[in-house]
Amino acid sequence: MPSQPNVLYIMTDQQRFDTIAALGNEHIYTPNLDRLVRRGLTFTNAYSTCPVCVPARYTVRTGCEPPTLRIFSNARSQPVEGQASTMEGRCGPYLPRTLQQRGYRTFGIGKFHTQPWDEELGYDVHLHSEELYGTPAQRRGDAYARWIADQHPAFDYIEALMGERTEMYYMPQVSPLPAELTVEHWAADRAIEQLQVDDTRPFFGFVSFIGPHPPFAPPVPFNRMYDPDRMPNPIRGDPATDLMDEQIRWMNYIIWADDISDARARSLKARYYGEISYIDDCLGRILDTVEARPDADNTLICFFADHGDHLGDHRAWQKESFFEASTHVPFLVSWPAALPAGERREELACLTDLFGIATHAAGDVEKRDGVDLLGAVAGTAPARPWVTGMYGEPGSSLFKIMVRDPDWKYIYFANGGRAQLFDMRQDRRELHNLAGSCPEVVRRLHAAAAAACDVPGAREALDADGDLRAFPLEARPLTRIHQFDQSRGVSGFPERPEDALHAYRARQDRARTGGDA
């Protein structure tokens, strides 16, 4: 094996698995993702085991699954009896700290979605660019927002630097900033600076882009790359199958996506693809910098997403389901000095395995809850028999679990005790629920799901007989979400329209009287 390689992890937020031209998407332009496909391995069956921002990110940095993390949604649950009170106490040192201890220079740039937002993770250089700011101090502490305020103050008036949220969440938009000032360009610039640092140590770098997470607001000219009428419509199956997961109706409503037409869905996909092509352009500058290094071939690059986006498939928007659009992620691994180039791999993989990839490359694999995926590729370690995913607090009606083996996907919903089964060889669009016609497969995967819950942190999902708990079927109450700039005192729509103008009027008054504008 070569000497300790550099390790560069590049993560996008909410990028579907099927958004890379070289992997078969004829509608999208991704020359630099295509370049990564040619550079190494593409794992075509890779999954986010809890497909939403916070747990996915903790999975990557810990190598542990939701029962150990005690994170089953964007909220954190309390440890159960016998578990350590801290995350690193339960899981071990975070990935950057682990590699730091093995002699690596570490840097992290972009979105981390930690709780608290400024949690120390083990990076020598740690530059945040989070999506939302809860207080003035947080906005000032955010490296990207501070850069805008200090270096480009003409744009600091913008409350939502990445585009409007709340009722505009799924409305086609354009970036309020020019392409050279967006958070994606900023992240690429900061990554390039770190890649050019003169240091004899190998580096571990983590670059976490905020896009293509909604709002879909690519900058000019990426906002007009794609004609909406050339975009395919969403894929829909039987409503009874598509909407079996109550989370879908609830999520559609909460982010104001409960009445999106096919025409608007095509427009949204066009802007979503524009976001990806823009990130691809930023990625190209990072790859150019890597390739300019003398140790380029001994640089391991992993590209992946935290989860996908339904984009209207199965009548759903956002994520948090175990449909492929939500849980299946792009997963590219390249290391020219040690791995073949341009190969497609069908081994089951998940974000948990990223911990083992980095530590394997560093010389001493530490799998934690994952597998040694590089060892599986080399034939020196076993492949995964299946991937298990969990969402929702175990022991509540929100709990659901997925088991994906090489041929089948099984999903069990505690709400109503219902199940879905999809033939992943013949029905990758998941249009036909076979749970009622393949009882032996259901029994086998149901037993695997129950066994996966028989661990500290998830046993509440089981009943007294050790089977998965079921609750009476009920619809979730619908509510809306407001995501305004709380760092500037904006928390929702005003009771009276004129109340939104107080600060605006005050600025006008100061300007008229000669005060600071």
Give kind and range of the element (H or E) at residue 157.
none
pLDDT at 503: 84
pLDDT bin (cut points 50, 70, 90) of residue 513 is: confident
Residue ranges of the alpha helices (H) in 25-142? 31-39, 53-62, 66-69, 87-91, 95-100, 136-141
pLDDT in tens, 103-115: 999 999 999 999 9
Cα separation, 7 vs 205, whole angstroms: 6
- Is residue 517's pLDDT more than 50? no
Q: Could you tell me what percent of the chain has a pLDDT over 90?
A: 96
Alpha-carbon torsion (371, 377, 380, 382), positive or negative:
positive
pLDDT in tens, 389-434: 999 999 999 999 999 999 999 999 999 999 999 999 999 999 999 9
pLDDT in tens, 21-36: 999 999 999 999 999 9
Q: Could you tell me what percent of the chain has a pLDDT over 70?
A: 99
pLDDT bin (cut points 50, 70, 90) of residue 320 is: very high
* Two tokens, residue 118: 């400024």
Delineate the domains of the chain, giving CATH numbers in brackets. Answer: 6-385+479-483 (3.40.720.10)
pLDDT at 514: 79
pLDDT at 57: 98
pLDDT bin (cut points 50, 70, 90) of residue 516 is: low
Collapsing DSSP states into helix, strand and coil, what is residue 348?
A: strand
Mean pLDDT rounded to a whole number for the chain: 97
3-state secondary structure 188-257: HHHHHHHHCCCCCCCEEEEEEEEEECCCCCCCCCHHHCCCHHHCCCCCCCCHHHHCCCHHHHHHHHHCCC
pLDDT at 507: 85
pLDDT in tens, 206-265: 999 999 999 999 999 999 999 999 999 999 999 999 999 999 999 999 999 999 999 999
Instruction: Name the residue among 325, 304, 412, 329 with its Cα closest to residue 48.
Output: 329
What value does the mean pLDDT take over residues 266-280? 98
pLDDT in tens, 321-349: 999 999 999 999 999 999 999 999 999 99
What value does the mean pLDDT take over residues 491-497? 93
Amino acid identity of 501?
L
What value does the mean pLDDT take over residues 425-448? 98
- Is residue 278's pLDDT more than 60? yes
Instruction: Name the residue among 20, 19, 22 with its Cα closest to residue 342.
Output: 22
pLDDT bin (cut points 50, 70, 90) of residue 1 is: low
pLDDT bin (cut points 50, 70, 90) of residue 468 is: very high
Cα separation, 335 vs 356, whole angstroms: 15
